[in-house]
Structure 1
Amino acid sequence: MEWTQSNTDSNETEADYAMNWWKPALGGLLAAGSLVPILARRAPGRKQDARPVTRARLTKLLLKAAHLSPDSEAVQWMSAHCTAQPLVWGDLAAHWLRKEGWLHSALCAGLLLPEDRPAGQFCPDAPLPRWEGARMAVRALGLGFPAAQAATCSPGFSDQAQFPAGTAGYALTAVQTGILPGHTGGRFHPRAPLSQTEAEAMALQVQRIMAGEGIPTFRCRLRHYDEDTMVQMLDPALRLRMVEGRVYACVRDLFQAEAQLRFQRGLSSLPPAVGYPARWSPRRQQVDLEKNMVYAYRAGWDRCLQGTRPGDLETHPDASTLLAPARLLFGELMVPVYDFRAKGKGHWHPWQGDWDPDSRILTLNTYYPGGVGVSPSPGKETPRARFPIVLEIFLPASHLSPLETALRQVDAGHIGAYDSCLSYSPVTSCWRPLAGTTPYLGTQGALSREQELKVEVTCQTERVEATVAAIRAVHPYEEPVINVIPLYQVGL
């Protein structure tokens, strides 16, 4: 395990390091002017405050950093779409944390859970240990799910025995994300009180991570396929954010924009003001949305669960793999739709984006698993027409295995009670790369003859766009040859 180390003098004691690790980050973040000021009483350069922070103050600090104040739109939506959490801590009945609405915000966002303090007392004005501060900050970032999974492994702290059961994963995630550093010798000091300075630096780090590279300035288009109809909308009302080279879109906005697009084009009688039914789970930090199926997106997880009914998500869900884990960014659950670093390559994923560098427009594509679309008739669902298509794909033999995986993910090659059905045969292909190309095989201006595989696979008409997108994502060529051929019937 690698531990965050400071750039201070090598003679610095462990106590000095614990008090000074935050200085470079704190000064740089505020000097950049890119963060909302959440600290009113201390500026960079002022003496650090070693006094313990209270549980109530850290709760408010993290909520403000994550833009989850009681009057925020995000908290109001969460509150309206989740089951109300009962007040289980008797010492908060008259406390400012509850009176000002911060407790409600923390419970709605999943920052606090009723079982966090099983003794029935929250002790809002008492110091809290480092492990508990790490857990709250990790949840504020929407990383509670992966942190809980990490708790089942051995995080490798030399003082791991001091952690309460199931909490070391939060500390490990806090160290890995730079929220709270470990100490020399692989120690975390989980039961040491969290200081005021550490708490403030944690809040700023949470805010910096969520801010990412900012809000993209390019335009966006939403494209929707319904049976054999394609409709699209330019500049839908979508909240976007760029984090680590990836574009993230608010999942609620995506579904709302799709509902609006389908209503405007006469494909649905559902008014866009109503949208799709939604539920929010603070414990899971998960959004469930219903249209033709139930879709569940969870913060910190790279899966979109799907089922015909809400109960299916727990018993036998289907799942699509996202480009990267969904993230909780400033109170909104956001899903990755495009990765500029990979230039769109990678496995197919829901809401997959297509980037046009000439127009600087990112097109997001909707997707219906199982080939079922919503009928224009009120309250009625009809299966889509299922016309067989055969795809011919030419590619190097080295990329056959990734192609098979991509085709399986979009259910291409599904014939009757068999799936993963395809055939391939060796062929000799020729081409000449022209000026401005960067060929995977061959040389610019020279005629190339290469050994390839010709892969043939069937899919349904309504899945062609998704299947072609999945193929392009794993194909190494700039201009892959993908022939789409309609069939009269399969299996004569």
Structure 2
Amino acid sequence: MKHWKRGLCGLLATALMVPVGLAAPVSGEKGLSDLEGHWAQKEVEAAVASGWVDGYPDGSFKPEKSITRAEFTKMLLDAIHLTPDSETVAWMKVHATMEDIWGNPTEYTPKLYDMSGHWLTSQGWLDAALYSGMVVPDDYNGKNFRPEKAIARYEIALMTDRALGLVYPASQPVEGELPFTDKEEILDWMKGYVNESVKAGVLKGYPDGSFQPNKTSTRAEAVVMIQRMLEEMEEGLNPDITVVAQYHKVADNEDKIVAEKETEKIQLQMVDHIIYASLNDLYAVRKEMMKESGDKGVNDISESWWPIEQKVEVGVSGGNLLMIDDYQMGNVKYSSSNSPYYFYAPVRALYGELMIPVYDLEYSHDEVYVHWQGEWDMEENTLTIPIIYVKPIFTGA
């Protein structure tokens, strides 16, 4: 899934037909006619240059025009590369999972009842929103999205939190009171999302100390909030580090290094002193190295994506045993081969994919073994990542 590896700042948009209000981009050197001197001029011009928002055919941007739920959804998805034709969205649709009424995994089949014929549906943006988890039908009364309704600030908090992979922390009880004079207007289920969006710097309070959760937003405000979200999401991308993948096979209580190779196929990100790696890339490289090693266990691997919980499960079956790796955005706790572990920091989200911590430059790595913990060579500027396959019992893998 390499569609999003197109550079740190070059968020190239998909060439799709768009509705009035998100019209074809204006061209020319004069820029947008109604942005000169506007408080959001810099951010809007940067967004237009990046390709995830456009002006109108008459050369204007209409920065103070209200933005609808549908328009914000398309803008957000475009900014984080979850376009209808992206490889990540295709993978999500194939592997989307939910719990049935008995608590068992089943296919995720989201449905909104008022979207038939809407441009968001016909152009594929609705599927991208639903299967990525940016839009959850149960959040809307009667599962009616009301796409042309102006979007409220609390909804922007909710959707940008999802884009940043913060559903898990947002669902936890908020410690203390929110620091806003109108906190009583923020419903209990919103509080965690508002809190996380403010902590991430995406939304801010007003000078009078209020948050105004139900206030609708303008096009300019929406662009600025998405730009702030991207700054948080894209921090430390593409550090100059050489990656070596070291394939381990664990069987019969023996950890055997089967193969080792340098690779450019694993996306890295460094935030503060922690190096993160793309979970999808790690498993893709594992499959590749298993095949290269002639390991038949690659045929027993299954994957699932849980949009509402923002988690990925990778299962390995063998005989009567199913061993599952379970990772969730925003959570430090995870499981590997059905055993619990803890990362150095919460799992991050990058363009809809999970970025897991693989090395902490300030951690004493000799003290305890942590799954996925890399080995750092400062002189060579090289990170060796153990990519482990645990052979299930009773299998011919």
For this structure pair, what is the TM-score category when the shorter chain's length is used for normalisation? 0.7 to 0.9
Q: 2:212 aligns with which of 189, 192, 208?
A: 189
Larger radius of gyration: 1
- Residue 396 of structure 2 is matched in structure 1 by 380
The AA in structure 2 aligned to 1:248 is Y
- Residue 324 of structure 1 is matched in structure 2 by 345
How many Å separate the matches in 1 of 2:304 and 2:91? 10
- 2:110 is the counterpart of 1:86: yes
- Residue 131 of structure 1 is matched in structure 2 by 154
- 2:282 is the counterpart of 1:254: yes
- 2:226 is the counterpart of 1:212: no
Q: 2:71 aligns with which of 50, 57, 61?
A: 57
Change (3 A) 1:69 1:345: farther
TM-score (norm 1): 0.62
Q: 2:257 aligns with which of 224, 227, 230?
A: 230
The AA in structure 2 aligned to 1:51 is K
Deviation digits for residues 251-298 of structure 1 (CA, Å, limit 9, x no counterpart): 1221232233234334x2135xx5721000000110000137201100
How many Å separate the matches in 2 of 1:146 and 1:37? 31
Structure 1 contact 285–299 (Cα < 8 Å) conserved: yes
How many Å separate the matches in 2 of 1:150 and 1:181? 20
How many Å separate the matches in 2 of 1:275 and 1:373? 10
For the aligned residues, what is the CA RMSD? 2.9
How many Å separate the matches in 1 of 2:170 and 2:315? 28
Deviation digits for residues 349-382 of structure 1 (CA, Å, limit 9, x no counterpart): 32111111222221012457xxx6458x9x337x
Within a 5 Å distance, the mapping from 1:17-166 to structure 2 comes to 20=39, 26=43, 30=46, 36-41=50-55, 49-82=63-96, 83-90=107-114, 92-151=115-174, 154-166=177-189
Structure 1 contact 215–240 (Cα < 8 Å) conserved: yes
In structure 1, runs of 5+ residues without a counterpart are 1-18, 309-317, 382-492
Quote the sequence identity (%).
30
CA drift of 1:193 comes to 0.8
Structure 1 contact 255–275 (Cα < 8 Å) conserved: no
In structure 2, runs of 5+ residues without a counterpart are 1-37, 97-106, 318-322
Change (3 A) 1:345 1:136: farther
How many Å separate the matches in 2 of 1:248 and 1:99? 36
CA drift of 1:219 comes to 1.6
Structure 1 contact 350–366 (Cα < 8 Å) conserved: no
- Residue 279 of structure 1 is matched in structure 2 by 304
- 2:202 is the counterpart of 1:174: no
The AA in structure 2 aligned to 1:380 is G
SS of equivalent residue, structure 1 residue 174: helix
How many Å separate the matches in 2 of 1:279 and 1:354? 29
How many Å separate the matches in 1 of 2:142 and 2:169? 26
How many Å separate the matches in 2 of 1:145 and 1:357? 34
SS of equivalent residue, structure 1 residue 270: helix
The AA in structure 2 aligned to 1:30 is A
How many Å separate the matches in 1 of 2:138 and 2:123? 22
CA drift of 1:64 comes to 0.9
Higher relative contact order (CA 8 A, sep 6+): 2
Change (3 A) 1:265 1:208: same
Deviation digits for residues 228-263 of structure 1 (CA, Å, limit 9, x no counterpart): 522332223322233344322111221232233234
CA drift of 1:109 comes to 0.9
- 2:297 is the counterpart of 1:270: yes
Structure 2 contact 111–143 (Cα < 8 Å) conserved: no
- Residue 269 of structure 2 is matched in structure 1 by 241
Structure 2 contact 110–130 (Cα < 8 Å) conserved: no
Change (3 A) 1:175 1:48: farther
- Residue 302 of structure 1 is matched in structure 2 by 332
TM-score (norm 2): 0.76
How many Å separate the matches in 2 of 1:333 and 1:380? 31
How many Å separate the matches in 1 of 2:340 and 2:255? 25
Structure 2 contact 137–145 (Cα < 8 Å) conserved: no
Deviation digits for residues 445-471 of structure 1 (CA, Å, limit 9, x no counterpart): xxxxxxxxxxxxxxxxxxxxxxxxxxx
CA drift of 1:205 comes to 1.9
Change (3 A) 1:346 1:193: farther
- Pick which of 143-152 and 339-348 moved more: 339-348
The AA in structure 1 aligned to 2:241 is F
How many Å separate the matches in 2 of 1:162 and 1:347? 46
Structure 1 contact 145–299 (Cα < 8 Å) conserved: yes
How many Å separate the matches in 2 of 1:106 and 1:94? 16
- Residue 436 of structure 1 is matched in structure 2 by none
SS of equivalent residue, structure 1 residue 158: coil
How many Å separate the matches in 2 of 1:262 and 1:153? 49
SS of equivalent residue, structure 1 residue 93: coil
Structure 2 contact 69–149 (Cα < 8 Å) conserved: yes
